Amino acid sequence: MKIAIGSDHRGFRYKAELIKYLSKDFDIKDFGTFSENSCDYPDYAEKVANAVVSKKYQRGILICGSGNGVCIAANKVKGIRASIGYSVKAAEFSVRHNAANVICFSEDFPLSMIKKAVKKFLAAKFEGGRHLTRIQKIKKIEEGQ
């Protein structure tokens, strides 16, 4: 599986740790930032979101100070369903029930929890069924119907 990953300056340290952690099992592409110098999270959220929407990457991971900023920015890209991985279960169910394709984290979360949540997020499969009807409604909203 090909994974797009990005962060702002607050998420830079955890992003580096996640790249090391995931690189042995996944093809990871780092979309920046590449330092702890102050930067704007929407720039990196957009890069990761566009990479996922292009279908070149199956999933995306974003990290910022709160997790909220990158999540909001990523969700502005049509076709992205980004979720905050505030727990291992939430990360897994974001895919199983909501077909999430991007997961977002706060660098204030424990790194050990984030690693477990990422693994669940990447292993999870969308269940379809009653959840598909809801995803189709989201697509209609996205298209302004």
**Has 97 been annotated as catalytic?**
yes
Per annotation, catalytic residue among 39, 71, 97, 104: 97
CA distances (Å), origin 81, targets 53, 54, 97: 10, 14, 11
Q: CA Rg, the chain, in Å?
A: 14
Q: Is 131 a catalytic residue?
A: no
Annotated catalytic residue within 64, 71, 104, 131: 64
Dihedral of the CA atoms 32, 37, 41, 45 (nearest 10)?
Answer: 0
**Cβ of 32: how many Cβ atoms within 10 Å?**
16
- Angstrom distance (rounded) from CA 106 to CA 76: 19
Task: Just list the catalytic residues.
Answer: 64, 97
